[in-house]
A and B are shown apart, each in its own frame.
Chain A
Amino acid sequence: MEYLPNILFALLLVAGIGYFARNVKRLSRNIKLGKRVDVSDNTSQRWKNMARIALGQNKMVVRPIAGFLHIIVYVGFVIINIEVLEIILDGLLGTHRLFGFLGGFYNVLIGSFEILAFLVIVAVVIFWVRRNAIRLQRFVKPEMKGWPKKDGNWILYIELILMFLFLTMNAADYQLQLKGAAHYANEAGIIGAFPVSGFMAPLLEDMSIANLIIVERAAWWLHIMGILFFLNYLYYSKHLHILLAFPNTYYGSLKPKGQFKNLESVTNEVKLMMDPEADPFAAPADDAPDPEKFGASDVSDLSWVQLLNAYTCTECGRCTSECPANQTGKKLSPRKIMMDTRDRLEEVGKNIDANNGSFVADDKQLLDDYISREELWACTSCNACVEACPVSIDPLSIIMDMRQYLVMEQSAAPSDLNNMMGNIENNGAPWPFNQMDRLNWAQES
């Protein structure tokens, strides 16, 4: 019986990590539904971007308040995880503060974890106020109703609870050490420093050792269970960005933002058309592949990087708040483009799961069922959303791919644009002027 807690802990750990691994597998399967693109170039620049944007958070601080608070939570999260390592080892081995032998250094570590935990609590409270009391514009847009809104708050509650449990655990432990409780106290003196939980200690002073142990153990177990829960919550949440921000910034575009990709399939056809030697009536070779679909009407027409983008989106709305179309009351919201893409991708993924690994047509697609044409045609291709995104997401590329589908597969451009394109085709200008008059201005005074 003595080892029961260790065994229970090991089981919990295996279950938590196992379920997480299952989600990671699903995630990568879904992302791979996207088209292949070659992003193997320029690795050194890519590593630099990742270091600067994801690790260094340099785009977050464009908005100083949110950026500063986010850095606290981010640093807190990364550093406090060092402590989780000790907690896991303690749990498996039945030890208490395994790393205590580090002495003074250990005290500095625990002390700084506590201060960070406190700062995280402060930051999280401010975040909550911004979302729910001040109701900052970008958090209350239409696409943030329902689950996205709950998700945003849930994350804050979970973080708050985790930090609170961590501090409670330390406070109880500190009392136990002061009272010389077996297993907790150490001849060397107090292990760890408790600059924050020290203030909570008076609340626990009058408790018996037995009750303190209950408090300490309860906080310890709930804390680690909370962490495992959080790990598995990620897949269903915008919080997935804490993992995917890294690959996403690595695979982000390295080209000038104005450079849109040239479709190779089109290039081949245009070359053929312009080649005076090509026989336009030649029958296609028997082994010719099916003509490629132009543009995107569903998630599988997008590239895997665009799908990774969708899973990485933090739903922060920085893109939407910079979007000229959105600012002037149009339906378009680049954040919604990303959220819709993720939702549809999830739907496709579930369909595949339910049908033994193959997709069964469901009469739905990203276009129209999620993203309306009205949204797509409102974009000015200004790149404000791309510039604003703190994790290198490119909503504009999805908009453009979907326009390509509308125009090249469906001939469904707004009539004004059809006129414009007709003019280009016939006169070499978007207006109905004659190409032969192109130099007339030089003669006009």
Chain B
Amino acid sequence: MGSELKVPTMAELFASGQQPEVLFWVGCAGSFDDRAKKITKAFIKILNKANVSFAVLGTEESCTGDPAKRAGNEFLFQMQAMTNIEVMNSYEIKKVVTACPHCFNTIKNEYPGLGGTYEVVHHTQFLKQLLEDGKITLEGGKFKGKRITYHDPCYLGRANNVYEAPRELIQKLDAELVEMKNCRKKGLCCGAGGAQMFKEPEKGDKDVNIERTEQAMETSPQIIAAACPFCNTMMTDGVKNKEKEASVAVMDIAELIAGAEDL
């Protein structure tokens, strides 16, 4: 692995009188889940490479409350939200980027009503902007000609109408983007949302992630691209279930970009 990651925290910058342009909201999965931590690091590498002025909250960050809210615990959600808002407002944060569509949705849509109004972007939108501003370049062609299918996270796609930014990034890799039969507005859930990630599924014929993995497999992909740590887990499990992990990789868009740059 290359050079050390530079991960400034808000507290450090604040102490030295600096204000970063953007807060990277890492999220619980990005902080604690072994698979998702790799996505976090890939994204940090890109931020470092592009010299983005950013910081993380580190130990001052706490769950956005999304899973509590979708589970029906509005009380716990608002406790979390108000605590986080207090922290973010104390640092006078204006812009937030996150690699988790659930954090993205919650901070963007549900925090303003509780006193936290920020410009919130998903990391795929942020990366697309870096590319357009020439802060990063994509050559190399490590993924050139690779068949990549993209799985729309519900909370990025249907919930917030972000369909194109991740797709444009994949196309910039000179990869062959193949669509599943259910995509964009009709994208099928991976099965993790609505707090399902944290419980056993109800009785049925099949798990949702298996159904979605089968749809992905129909496109004979070499890579399944995801843009959400939870979708990533679900699809990875699905690929393992199909015993296809040797030939099909599940990767986050940030990992694709970082990989193409050989970071």
Residues of A participating in the B interface, judged by any CB pair closer than 8 Å: 255-260, 262-263, 266-267, 269-271, 273-274, 294-295, 322, 324-325, 327-332, 374, 377-384, 386-388, 400, 402-408, 413-414, 416-417, 419-421, 424-425, 428-431, 433, 435-439, 441-442, 444-445
CA distance A430 to B199 in the complex (A): 11
Are B32 and A431 in contact, CB atoms less than 8 angstroms apart?
A: yes
Known contacts A413-B71, A441-B40; A383/B158 CB under 8 A:
yes
Known contacts A429-B32, A439-B56, A441-B37; A424/B159 CB under 8 A:
no
Are A324 and B189 in contact, CB atoms less than 8 angstroms apart?
A: yes
Are A408 and B74 in contact, CB atoms less than 8 angstroms apart?
A: yes
Which of A256, A324, A403, A433 gathers the greatest number of chain B CB atoms within 10 Å?
A: A324
Query: How far in angstroms is the closest Cβ of chain B from A295?
Result: 7
Query: How far in angstroms is the closest Cβ of chain B from A413?
Result: 6
Partner of B204, one of A263, A325, A381, A403: A325
Are B71 and A420 in contact, CB atoms less than 8 angstroms apart?
A: yes
Query: Which residue of chain B has its CB nearest to the CB of A445?
Result: B1
Pick out which of these stretches binds chain A: B13-21, B76-84, B172-180.
B76-84
Known contacts A400-B70, A407-B72, A407-B73; A377/B199 CB under 8 A:
yes
Query: Which residue of chain B has its CB nearest to the CB of A410?
Result: B72
Are B78 and A270 in contact, CB atoms less than 8 angstroms apart?
A: yes
Known contacts A327-B211, A403-B71, A429-B31; A417/B195 CB under 8 A:
yes
Query: Which residue of chain B has its CB nearest to the CB of A295?
Result: B72
Known contacts A330-B201, A331-B202; A421/B71 CB under 8 A:
yes
5 A-B pairs, CB-CB below 8 angstroms?
A267-B114, A380-B196, A383-B158, A383-B159, A445-B1
Contacts of B80 in A (CB 8 A): 424, 428
B205 contacts the other chain (CB 8 A): yes
Contacts of B211 in A (CB 8 A): 324, 327-328
CA distance A267 to B69 in the complex (A): 13
Known contacts A257-B158, A260-B110; A325/B202 CB under 8 A:
yes
Are A421 and B73 in contact, CB atoms less than 8 angstroms apart?
A: yes
Are A429 and B28 in contact, CB atoms less than 8 angstroms apart?
A: yes
Residue interface mask B200-216, A partner, CB < 8 A = 1: 11111111101110000
Are A266 and B110 in contact, CB atoms less than 8 angstroms apart?
A: no
Count of residues in B whose CB is under 8 Å from the partner chain: 73
Contacts of B261 in A (CB 8 A): none
Are B189 and A382 in contact, CB atoms less than 8 angstroms apart?
A: yes
Are B158 and A417 in contact, CB atoms less than 8 angstroms apart?
A: no
Are A431 and B28 in contact, CB atoms less than 8 angstroms apart?
A: yes
Contacts of A379 in B (CB 8 A): 194
CA distance A379 to B185 in the complex (A): 18
Contacts of B70 in A (CB 8 A): 260, 381, 400, 403
Within 8 A of A (CB), among B143-159: 154-155, 158-159
Query: Which residue of chain A has its CB nearest to the CB of B113?
Result: A262
Pick out which of these stretches binds chain A: B57-65, B92-100, B235-243.
B57-65
B186 contacts the other chain (CB 8 A): yes
Contacts of B137 in A (CB 8 A): none
Contacts of A257 in B (CB 8 A): 158-160
Contacts of B109 in A (CB 8 A): 255-256, 258-259
CA distance A148 to B89 in the complex (A): 53
Are B192 and A428 in contact, CB atoms less than 8 angstroms apart?
A: no
Are B202 and A439 in contact, CB atoms less than 8 angstroms apart?
A: no
Which of A273, A274, A379, A442 gathers the greatest number of chain B CB atoms within 10 Å?
A: A442
B161 contacts the other chain (CB 8 A): yes
Query: How far in angstroms is the closest Cβ of chain B from A432?
Result: 10
Within 8 A of A (CB), among B1-55: 1, 5, 7, 9, 26, 28, 30-33, 37, 40-41, 44
Query: Which residue of chain B has its CB nearest to the CB of A379?
Result: B194
Known contacts A259-B109, A416-B199; A270/B159 CB under 8 A:
no
